[in-house]
Amino acid sequence: MLIPYVLLSTTNARITGMYGQPNLFALFLILVLLACSYRYIHADVQASRLVSRHGWLRLIPVALIAFVFFQTGSRNGMLSLSLIGCLVAYFVLKGRYLSNFRQMVGRLLPLLGGLLVGYGLYRLMALDGGATRSMVSAGGDVSIDTRFVLWYSSLLMGLEHPWAGVGFGNFNYFLADTQVVAQEKIRLLYEARSYTNWSHNEYLQMLAEGGIPAFLLFTGLALWILKRLIYGVVKEGRGDDPAYVYSHLMLLPFFFMAFFSWPFRFAPLLALFAVFLGCALAHGPTVTWSPSRATRVTFQGVALCALALTIFLATLEAKAAALRDALREGQTVEESFTDFQQLAYNPQTRYVTLTRILPQLTQQVLESQDKTQALRLIPFAEDLAEMERAYWQWLLLSRLYFLVGLLDEARAAAEMSIHQQPVHEPAWQFLHYIDMTRAARATGRPIESFFPGAVPADHLFLENDHGGNRTAQPE
């Protein structure tokens, strides 16, 4: 599994792993390193696997995993791993974990040696400056500016809706307008604006989407787990119970990385968190519940209804995916419009239909310059632009307006695109073409006379970025 990451095909050593995002993959690797630590320090000793003089060979996987971890270039991951290391060092210095000096030298220090070997391999392979830039330098990184804008936007949402928030899953709906205010107040570059579903800070996103109650519950859970670990190890002497220590340590990377990423919004990692939380709670007092027969029957009925609803919603999602695939394979707008309309009017599939399928339909309509189909798509494009208010959505709407001859509406939509992202050059180019077209109609002169060179033949396709930057986000 590690070979694709060891034998790199490019000069840039930063990898994203199976999750497709460096920070999320770094969190997974931290969990793997903790699992290896538990196995090496405790399980292997109990099984007498380290008494051999070749026991150090068992540290090779630790070095390889550490090497892959450093290859992610995740500063957030480095910070989380360092905080966990400081916490373990605190327990050791207090004499509550690996209190015997011989144990510490024989078990913990070799493990740290494996981490250092992994880091050394990473440094040896970092032959170009870009490979280590993300971990050793923060200067000039646009992703940092974007995070500041997203965080301040989240804070503004939370302050505007302090008790109920904007609603879970509605962050991106409010982001477009809120980030304009945030970016202007903190005076960062226009490139710092982003269109994403995540604030890149779980605490602030909880405040934005759920208000103060959700923020307090989430923060309280993090502090309770940290207090439970520290109090159990230092005060109750539970450092001798490795299962107790590591079941709690496994939870902390999630909360540490939540300051700069979105681990609780990613289903695979959320499932792991639920497993580790159950393991940690299992070390608390046992609670026994014996439900009555009526309660069991009710629960089973609710579970069956939930299963049926899940299957129904899955069929809708599959239908939307099938329509997207059909469009990629060349199905026309006229053949797809009935299915598209049904999906667009369904609350469950409306969002994915407008954000993912509508741009594909618009692309076909603009290429064929089919005014009839453009008129049918305009109401949906208007809904999309009003819903998310992203710059690329306003530009799509402007192009549809222009195709059917609604120049005033096209100009207004282009101006909204520029308002949302002033440095998006295609919007400025298209606005200029609209103005030249209006001038040509008003004066009766041919449009060629307004351009010193050739008239743009692809004025409807100055940039085919239908949503390409919609989910642009800092690394």
- Tell whether the model's pLDDT for residue 271 goes beyond 80: yes
The dihedral over CA atoms of 417, 418, 420, 425, expressed in degrees to the nearest 10, equals 100
- Where does the pLDDT of residue 126 fall: very low under 50, low under 70, confident under 90, or very high at 90 and above? low
User: In one letter, which amino acid is 458?
Assistant: D
Asked whether the predicted pLDDT for residue 66 surpasses 70, the reply is yes
As a whole number, mean pLDDT of residues 194-222 equals 93
Q: Residue 357 in contact with residue 323, Cβ under 8 Å?
A: yes
Q: How high is the mean pLDDT of the chain?
A: 84
- Residue with the bigger pLDDT between 188 and 63: it is 63
Distance CA 242, CA 415 (A): 61
The whole-number average pLDDT for the span 25-42 is 91
The confidence score (pLDDT) of residue 45 equals 54
CA distance 225 to 228: 5
pLDDT(90) > 50 = yes
Give SS3 for 473: coil
40: confidence class by pLDDT, cuts 50, 70, 90: confident
Q: How far apart are CA 356 and CA 350, in angstroms?
A: 10
Specify the pTM: 0.81
Q: What is the pLDDT confidence band of residue 470, given thresholds at 50, 70 and 90?
A: very low
Better-scored residue on pLDDT, 153 or 44: 153
